């Protein structure tokens, strides 16, 4: 019987296990999933507090990428999928202490409507002139990789980087625009510059092509599950073979052996024909350090940033006093520690009763590291102080919870895709080893699901 080890029980590893499960039932293979912590699901964790659904980790996934929603449907969760309340989709940027809405028609940071952007106080006249001139930007052949900040600055100037690109990327990657790779993080932008020159013209041309018929409305920007993201984990885990799931079992190392691999966890080692490593890249580097130092070094060089989320529940009065919309982003030069806050009750109304406000505050990178050692109470005090400055919110929360995620968000630095090519070239030295997880081609949940499923396909192709 073919034996497969899956190492890591986050959503990448669980998606791989689910893809292997039907083959196990058919008697074709056996698998063992190793997870170091007591729980499966990795960073997908939801708490139910005061009738609110509080997400400790991710709160949703983008609808444009199909793999997570498809997995939910395959698990029978189709009727549990909910869309973000895009009718209320307004996001603010803090500029000199004031919350300014991102103007209508700004797609990521590319203006596609002249009037709202031209009238918005979010940008200075210098930046607005740059936006107009950007439409004449000549096409540029693909050169060496560069940072997102460098590409955006070339098109729109540094104010666009500071006020929009950097806060938007911090909210998604917990990283900084001046270190993230444009080719890995915003490949469409690099391609649009190559084909059209102007990002504005490319975006408009793309939109024309993608005009949807009236009977096929635009899907919501974000998708989630009615009972929270942990519902995905709670549905997938019972569908797996329980005897195959080893929690509290960190893997120390893996070694190639005749006809396969040996996996060492604790005092035990076991033999497998193939392995799916579904770990954060640094943890994967550690288990591979003896068997392939070169691959291990490449994996270890994929950076990760830490993050802290704080969920706060408030009463009806606060809900009525908060601005409409999904929340706000804070540029670094505003001198705050908070990077973003989501008004969850507006973004996903299912997540809080009508008489509650639910806020989710986010710290990442050095802002998270600087407060990491503080007690939860001290972190809550920082959040409350900043919410008071930004939203004039003085009321005490009904509840507040702090969740810390050490080195959980991969940072695709400049040159990331070249590193992935080098990793690909090294993999034939390790037949039967597949890599999955957020360190490679997408940190969002849909990409992680896809990576787990592709890793399962790779090992199945060996059978």
Helix (H, G, I), strand (E, B) or coil at 179: coil
Contacts of 108 (CB under 8 A, 6+ apart): 168, 186
Which one of 4, 5, 6, 34 is in contact with ligand FAD (CB under 6 A)?
34
Per CB under 6 A, the segment of 39-47, 79-87, 124-132, 180-188 that binds ligand FAD is 39-47
Q: Does the footprint of ligand FAD cover residue 327 (CB under 6 A)?
A: no
Q: Does the footprint of ligand FAD cover residue 296 (CB under 6 A)?
A: no
Identify which of residues 46 and 60 has a Cβ nearer to ligand FAD in the complex: 60
| Interface pattern 362-401 for ligand FAD (x via CB under 6 A) | ----------------------------------------
Contacts of 150 (CB under 8 A, 6+ apart): 178, 182
What CA–CA distance (Å, rounded) separates 12 from 444?
11
Identify which of residues 50 and 441 has a Cβ nearer to ligand FAD in the complex: 441
Which one of 30, 59, 193, 454 is in contact with ligand FAD (CB under 6 A)?
59
Residue tagged 């001198």 (tokens): 335
For residue 287, the minimal CB distance to ligand FAD (Å) is 6
Residue tagged 């990448």 (tokens): 12
CA angle 265, 271, 277 (to 5 degrees): 60
Task: Please give the structure tokens belonging to residue 445.
Answer: 């949940």
Residue tagged 């190492």 (tokens): 7
What CA–CA distance (Å, rounded) separates 127 from 108?
16
Q: Compute how many residues bind ligand FAD; rule: CB under 6 A.
A: 37
Identify which of residues 36 and 289 has a Cβ nearer to ligand FAD in the complex: 36
Q: Does the footprint of ligand FAD cover residue 35 (CB under 6 A)?
A: yes
* Torsion of the alpha carbons at 368, 372, 375 and 377, rounded to the nearest 10: 0
Q: Does the footprint of ligand FAD cover residue 57 (CB under 6 A)?
A: yes
> Three-class SS string for 211-244?
CCCCCCCCCCCEEEECCCCHHHHHHHHHHCCHHH
Q: Does the footprint of ligand FAD cover residue 175 (CB under 6 A)?
A: no
Which residues between 80 and 109 bind ligand FAD (CB under 6 A)?
none
Q: Does the footprint of ligand FAD cover residue 43 (CB under 6 A)?
A: yes
Which one of 280, 325, 327, 397 is in contact with ligand FAD (CB under 6 A)?
280
Identify which of residues 264 and 389 has a Cβ nearer to ligand FAD in the complex: 264
Nearest C-alpha neighbor of 397 from the set 438, 437, 360, 349? 360
Q: Does the footprint of ligand FAD cover residue 443 (CB under 6 A)?
A: yes
Q: Which H or E run includes 422?
A: helix 416-426
Which residues between 223 and 262 bind ligand FAD (CB under 6 A)?
250-251
Identify which of residues 195 and 248 has a Cβ nearer to ligand FAD in the complex: 248
Q: What DSSP designation does 323 have?
A: P
Q: 106: which strand partners?
A: 111
Site for ligand FAD, rule CB under 6 A: 7-13, 34-37, 42-44, 57-61, 250-251, 278-280, 283, 287, 307, 309, 405, 408-409, 437-438, 443-445, 448
């Amino acid at each position: 019987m073919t034996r497969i080890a899956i190492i890591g029980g986050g959503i990448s590893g669980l998606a791989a296990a689910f893809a292997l499960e039907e083959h196990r039932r058919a008697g074709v293979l056996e698998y063992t999933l190793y997870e170091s912590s007591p729980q499966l699901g990795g960073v997908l964790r939801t708490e139910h507090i005061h009738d609110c659904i509080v997400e400790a980790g991710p709160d949703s996934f983008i609808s444009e990428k199909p793999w997570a929603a498809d997995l939910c449907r395959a698990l029978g969760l189709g009727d549990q999928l909910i869309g973000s309340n895009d009718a209320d989709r307004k996001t603010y940027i803090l500029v000199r202490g004031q919350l300014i809405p991102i103007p209508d028609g700004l797609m990521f940071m590319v203006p596609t409507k002249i009037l709202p952007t031209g009238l918005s106080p979010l940008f200075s006249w210098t930046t607005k002139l740059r936006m107009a001139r950007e439409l004449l930007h000549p096409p540029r052949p693909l050169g060496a990789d560069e940072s997102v900040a460098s590409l955006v600055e070339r098109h729109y100037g540094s104010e666009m980087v500071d006020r929009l690109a950097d806060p938007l990327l911090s909210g998604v990657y917990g990283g900084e625009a001046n270190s993230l790779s444009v080719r890995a993080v915003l490949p469409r932008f690099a391609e649009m510059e190559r084909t059209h020159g102007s990002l504005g013209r490319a975006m408009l041309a793309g939109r024309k092509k993608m005009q949807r018929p009236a009977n096929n409305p635009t899907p919501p920007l974000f998708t989630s599950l009615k009972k929270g993201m942990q519902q995905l984990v709670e549905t997938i885990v019972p569908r797996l073979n329980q005897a195959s799931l080893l929690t509290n079992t960190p893997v120390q190392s893996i070694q190639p052996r005749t006809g396969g691999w040996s996996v060492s966890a604790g005092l035990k080692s076991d033999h497998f024909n193939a392995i799916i490593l579904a770990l954060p890249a640094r943890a994967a580097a550690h288990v591979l350090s003896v068997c392939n130092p070169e691959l291990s070094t490449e994996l270890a060089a994929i950076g990760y940033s830490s993050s802290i989320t704080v969920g706060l529940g408030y009463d009806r009065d606060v809900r009525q006093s908060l601005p409409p919309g999904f929340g706000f982003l804070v540029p670094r030069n505003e001198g705050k520690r908070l990077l973003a806050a989501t008004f969850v009750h507006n973004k996903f109304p299912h997540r809080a009763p009508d008489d509650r406000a639910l806020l989710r505050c986010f710290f990442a990178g050095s802002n998270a590291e600087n407060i990491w050692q503080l007690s939860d109470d001290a972190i809550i005090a920082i959040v409350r102080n900043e919410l008071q400055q930004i939203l004039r919110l003085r009321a005490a929360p009904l509840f507040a919870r702090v969740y810390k995620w050490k080195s959980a968000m991969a940072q695709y630095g400049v040159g990331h895709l070249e590193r992935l090519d080098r990793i690909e070239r090294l993999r034939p030295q390790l037949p039967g080893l597949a890599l999955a997880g957020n360190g490679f081609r997408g940190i969002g949940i849909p990409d992680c699901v896809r990576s787990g499923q592709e890793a399962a396909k790779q090992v199945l192709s060996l059978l």
